Structure 1
C-alpha cells in the first residue's frame, strides 16, 4: 500500500511539473540569463544594482555601480583608488569594502594614497565608521605619541603617522604644515581599545560599510526574476519576458495547475485523488515544523539545492561570509587549531574582536555538502549554554566553511587522552569531570526536548565536546544529526552512522530495537565511561583493546564493592562522584534501548545521592556477540541521508 501511495504521489508531481514547465521553459528571455548573479572567483555574488564588466551586460545594473574583477576579487573604483567588495548585504542595501592595498601581499607598505570621498558617487556612509588620518613626510612627530607610527613610510628625516579623527584636535599645537601631505581613510568602527592593539594594516583590513538608495530589486528577486535597468528605468527580467517590478502574473500559472489537476482526476481516478490529498496533508503537516529535511538526498544534493535552502531559510540562519572574508578573519589560515574528519580548523578574529574557530571543509570530500548543510540546518535551530554557537558560514562554489565560537580549552578528548599518555600535566579533577558530564547531559536534554524541532546528534564522543575557559562543555559537530518533529521519537536510517565504539547497537542492527533518542544516551554513557577510564591506574594505551574490557572490569569491581582503582580520588566526595558516574554510564549502555534512562533521568541521577542509585544489570553483550558485530561489514555514514520519520 505504501508503494502505491508513493507512485501516486510521484505521478502527481511529475504531471504538475511537466504542465507548468512546458509553457514556461520553451523560450527563456536571454536578458534573464545575462543578469544572473555572478562572482569573480572569490568574494560575494554580484547582482543589481552592481554589474561586472565582461561578465554582465551593462543593463544588468546601474551605470555608476560598475564592478571589475582583479585578482579574483570584485573591485569598485572610488576616489582614485580601488576597493575590494568583501560582502554585499542586499537585504539592507549596503556593502563592506576595503582598500585593495591591503590585498596586495607583495606591497610592504600598504598605505592609502588618496583622500576618500563619496562625492559624485551613488553611495552614502553607514553610521558605523570612523576616519583614520594618515600624515606623511613630517619633519617631526607631535609631542603626544600618535596612534600609529607608519614606520614603513618614514626615514631619518621624514616621519609618517596615523591618528583617528577624534584625536586630530588633540594635535592642534602640532603644526600640520610640517607634513608634506595627509589623507583620510574610513574604517569600520568598533572597540577602540582593541583597535589600538592592532597595527594600521589590520585596522584598514577591517574595511567599512557604504549604502545605496532603496530600489525594487527585492520584490523582483522574491518573484524569481533578475533585476536590471533599461534607459535608467528599473526592469525585472523574468524567464518569460520583462516586467516592470515583479514576475508575478499569477493567472497563467494558476490555469496550468488547474489543467494539471483535471488531468490527474481523469487519469488516476477518485481513489488515487483521495490518496494524493492524504499525502499532501501529511507532507504539509510534517514540513510545517521541519521543511529542510527533504533536501538531503545525495542524488539531488547540488549547489542549487543548497542555495535554495539558504535563500528560503536566510532569516533563520547566522551571517553568511564570503571566502575572501574568511581568509581575512583567519589571517590567511595562519593559526591551525586541529584537523577533523571533514577538514582543518583555524583560529580567527571577527571585526568586533571576538575569537572564532573556522572549520574549512575539504574541497575533495564528496560528502561535505551534506555535512555542511546538515550542520547549518540543525545547529541554527539551537541556543543553549551547552551547545556550541554557529557564528556564521561560507558557501561559495566549492569553498565551504563553518564559523563557531572559540573554545579556549579545546576538546574533551585532549584531557582524557593526555591523562592516559601522561604527556602533559593537564588533569581534570573529579568535581570538574562531574560538572562536564552534567553539562553534556543538559545539552542533550535540550536537543531532545527543548528545541522546537527534536535533534538526535548520533555522534556524541569526546572529540565533539568542546570546553570553554571555565570548562563548561559544549556539544559540537552536527554533521550526522537528524531532525524530527517534536511529537516523533523514532527515526529510520538507511545506514549506520557515528563513530565505532560509541554507536548504539540498534543503530547498526534493528534486532536490538528501533532507533530513537536512546541512541544518544548510549553514546553519552560510553563517553562518560571513557572519561572514567582516563583515570584508570593501569598504563594501557587508548588504542589497545582495553576499551572492550573496561566496562566489564569496572562493573565487577562495583559489584564486589571493592577498590575501583582510579587515579585522583583524594576524598570521600571524589569516591562518591566516581561511583555515581560509573553507575550512570552503565545504565546508559544497556543493550536494549528501553532499559536505558532518558537523558532527563540521567541528569537526576548525576545530581542525586549515590545511595539512591541501584546497581544496573551487566549492560554489555557477550564477547562473542561483540566480536561478530565488530567484524561485520558496517557502513558508517558520513553522509546525511534522508530522514524518514516513523511514529512510535
Structure 2
C-alpha cells in the first residue's frame, strides 16, 4: 500500500506536518507521533512499498495558548514543570522534559551535505529492504530522486537521549569512501531513525551466494572480488587507525558490506548494535548477551566502541565469545573468514555430511588432506584459473587472519600492504 501526501486530502480536521496547515491553539489535542509501521515476524522482508508520510509521523501536538518557551543555548525549548507541555511540531524546535529525558522532534543532520529536511522525508516513498534483530531497513526515495537508506530502531530508551546522541554523533564523524556514511538521525520516545546514503548494489553476501527466490545470478569475477577485498581492508584500516577512537567494528560479515555503483565496498552497520541497545530495540542482541552471561557469569558490559553479536555465527573470533575487551584482532579474524568465503563461494558454516563445521575448520581440513585448489575454489572462478597465483596468495593472507591466537594475526595495515604487493607482483 502506498500512501503519499495526497492521502491526507479531504480531512479538514488534520493539521501539522506533513500538511502545510499548522495546528492552532484551538486544535484538539492529538496523540503522540505515529511511527514507522510495526512489522510482525511473518511480514515479508522484501519489496514493501509504503509512504513515509503515511506511516511515519503525524507530528501534531496541541499547544497551550500563550505558552512562552524558554530556549537553551542551542535553541532547544524547555517545557515548564506543572504546565501542560505540548506543542505543534515546527522546524528547529524540540522539547526538553528534563536534563536526562530529552525528546528530539526534528531531523538532525550530521554534515553540511544534508539538503533534505524532515518534511521531505515524510513525503517520500519507502520500500522495506529487510528486517533484523536491530531494526527495519527502508529504501527511501525523495521527490527530487535522492535515494536514502533509513534504519528504524526500536521504541523505548526514553531516558537515554544524551547517551544516544553522543554515540550517533561520534559515528557520524566517520568519513571514508569504504565506510557507509551516516548522514542524519531522528530521535523521539517512539522512534529512533538513522539515515544513510543508499548503496545500490546490495550486499556482498548476495553478490557471492545470490538471493533466495531469484533464479538469475551474475557471479563476481576475481577482479571484482579482489577490488572488494582491498576496499574493505582500507575501510578497516581507517576504523582501526584513523577514526576518533580507533574503533572496533565487532560484527563484520558479508551482509554488512554493501556494494556501490562500481562494486566498491562500503562497510555498514558500524555501531548500530550499540545504538539499538540504547534505543531499547535490540532484543536479539540483548538475549544473546543474557545467554552467554548464564554460562560465563556476570561480566562487564561491552565497550561502547563495538557492536558485537556475542553468539558465534562463523565470523566471530574464538576469543570474542568470552566477552573480553573488544579487540581490533576480532575484525581481522572476521575479515579472514570473508576472504575465505570469497575464494570458496561457501558460507561461513559448511555442511559436511550430517554435521556442520565452520569455514575455517573446513579449509584447514582441506589443507591437511592436500586437496587440489579446484576442489576448494568457488566453481564460478574456474574461468579465472590463470589468476591462481593471486588466489593462493589471498588464501595465505586469509589463513594468517584466522589464526587461533589473536597475537599472531596481522594488523589490517599489514593485510592491506600484503594485498597491494600481491596485485603489483601479478601485473
Give the structure-1-normalised TM-score. 0.42
Counterpart Cα distance in 1 of 2:162 and 2:134: 11
The answer to whether the aligner puts 1:436 opposite 2:231 as a matched pair is no
Q: Distance in 1 between matches of 2:113 and 2:187?
A: 12
| CA positional deviation for 1:386 | 0.2
Q: How far does the alpha carbon of each residue in 1:185-219 deviate from its partner, in whole angstroms, 9 at most, with x for none?
A: xxxxxxxxxxxxxxxxxxxxxxxxxxxxxxxx99x
Q: Distance in 2 between matches of 1:309 and 1:591?
A: 45
Q: Separation in 2 of the partners of 1:306 and 1:318?
A: 29
Tell whether 2:21 aligns with 1:53.
no
Shift of 1:577: 2.9
Q: Of residues 69, 73, 84 in structure 2, which corresponds to 1:222?
A: 73
**Residue 414 of structure 2 corresponds to which residue in structure 1?**
601
Which residue of 2 is the match for residue 328 of structure 1?
123
2: CA distance, partners of 1:319 / 1:384 = 17
Alignment of 1:143-542 (within 5 A): 220-222=71-73, 226=77, 305=100, 307=102, 325-329=120-124, 331=125, 333=126, 335-363=127-155, 376-418=168-210, 423-478=215-270, 479-480=272-273, 494=301, 497-498=308-309, 500=312, 501-509=314-322, 515-534=326-345
* Cα deviation, residue 547, structure 1: 2.6
* Cα deviations by residue, 1:434-458 (Å, 9 ceiling, x for unpaired): 1111111100000111223321110
Query: Deviation at 1:53?
Result: 1.6
Sort the Cα spacing of 1:320 and 1:591 in 2 relative to 1 into closer, same or farther, 3 A: farther
| Equivalent residue, structure 1, for 2:367 | 555
Deviation for aligned residue 1:426: 2.5
SS in 2 for 1:445: helix
**Structure 2: stretches of 5+ with no match in the other structure:** 1-13, 34-50, 55-68, 82-96, 276-298
Shift of 1:416: 2.3
Structure 1 residue 361 displacement after superposition? 2.2
Residues 309 and 504 of structure 1: CA distance in aligned 2, closer, same or farther (over 3 Å): farther
Aligned-pair CA distance for 1:459: 0.7
Alpha-carbon distance, 1:303 to partner: 9.7
Could you say what secondary structure the match of 2:72 adopts? helix
Distance of 2:385 and 2:148 partners within structure 1? 40
Contact 1:225 1:238 in 2 (8 A): no
* Contact 1:385 1:474 (8 Å CA) reproduced: yes
Q: Is the 8 A contact 2:259 2:266 kept in 1?
A: yes
Secondary structure at 2:219 match in 1: coil
Q: Alpha-carbon deviation of 1:345?
A: 1.6
Helix, strand or coil for the counterpart of 1:443? helix
Distance 1:351 1:379, change over 3 A: farther
What is the DSSP-based 3-state SS (H/G/I as helix, E as strand, rest coil) of the residue aligned with 2:382? coil
| Structure 1: distance between partners of 2:196 and 2:109 | 18
Provide the residue aligned with 1:577 in structure 2.
390
Q: Is contact 1:431–1:574 with CA below 8 Å preserved after alignment?
A: no
Contact 2:248/2:326 (8 A) holds in 1: no
| 1:591 positional shift | 1.6
Cross-structure match for 2:289 = none
What is the distance in 2 between the residues matched to 1:103 and 1:591? Answer: 47
Query: How many angstroms apart in 2 are the aligned matches of 1:407 and 1:103?
Result: 19
Pair 1:314–1:325, CA change in 2 (3 A):
closer
Q: Deviations over 1:85-144 (max 9, x none)?
A: xxxxxxxxxxxxxxxxx9998xxxxxxxxxxxxxxxxxxxxxxxxxxxxxxxxxxxxxxx
Question: Would you say the 8 A contact 1:431–1:577 is kept in 2?
Answer: no
In the TM superposition, what is the alpha-carbon distance from 1:348 to its structure 2 partner?
1.3
Give the whole-Å Cα distance in 2 for the aligned partners of 1:431 and 1:452. 32
Q: Structure 1 residues 377, 529: CA separation in 2 closer, same or farther (over 3 Å shift)?
A: farther
CA distance in 2, matches of 1:360, 1:103: 12
Contact 1:378 1:481 in 2 (8 A): no
By percentage of residues, which structure has more strand? Answer: 1
Match of residue 89 from structure 2: none
Change (3 A) 1:445 1:360: same
Q: Deviations over 1:576-620 (max 9, x none)?
A: 2322222111111112111000001001112223899xxxxxxxx
The CA deviation at 1:405 is: 1.0
Task: Specify whether residues 514 and 53 from structure 1 end up closer, same or farther in structure 2 by C-alpha distance, changes over 3 A only.
Answer: closer
Deviation at 1:433, TM superposition (A): 0.8
Indicate the residue corresponding to 1:592 in structure 2: 405
* 1:4-56 deviation line (CA, Å, top 9, x unaligned): xxxxxxxxxxxxxxxxxxxxxxxxxxxxxxxxxxxx99859xxxxx99626xx
Distance, in Å, in 2 between the alignment partners of 1:221 and 1:534 is 56
Q: 1:375 to 1:533 in 2, by over 3 A?
A: farther
CA RMSD in angstroms comes to 5.0
Shift of 1:390: 1.4
Q: Please report how far the alpha carbon of residue 561 of structure 1 lies from its aligned counterpart in structure 2 after TM superposition.
A: 6.7
Quick one: distance in 2 between partners of 1:599 and 1:73? 47
Q: Distance in 1 between matches of 2:351 and 2:212?
A: 7
* Higher RCO (CA-CA < 8 Å; seq separation 6+): 2
C-alpha distance in 2 between matches for 1:564 and 1:366: 54
1: CA distance between counterparts of 2:351 and 2:142?
Answer: 42
